[in-house]
Structure 1
Amino acid sequence: MMTVDLVEAAGFEAFEAGNASEAIVILEATPGIRILFTDIDIPAAWTA
Structure 2
Amino acid sequence: GPGKRISSNAVIRNGLLTIPSVDRSDEGEYICKALNTHGEHTARAVLHVQ
Q: Which has the larger radius of gyration?
A: 2
After TM superposition, is the score higher than 0.5? no
Higher relative contact order (CA 8 A, sep 6+): 1
Query: What range is the shorter-chain TM-score in?
Result: under 0.3
* Greater share of strand: 2
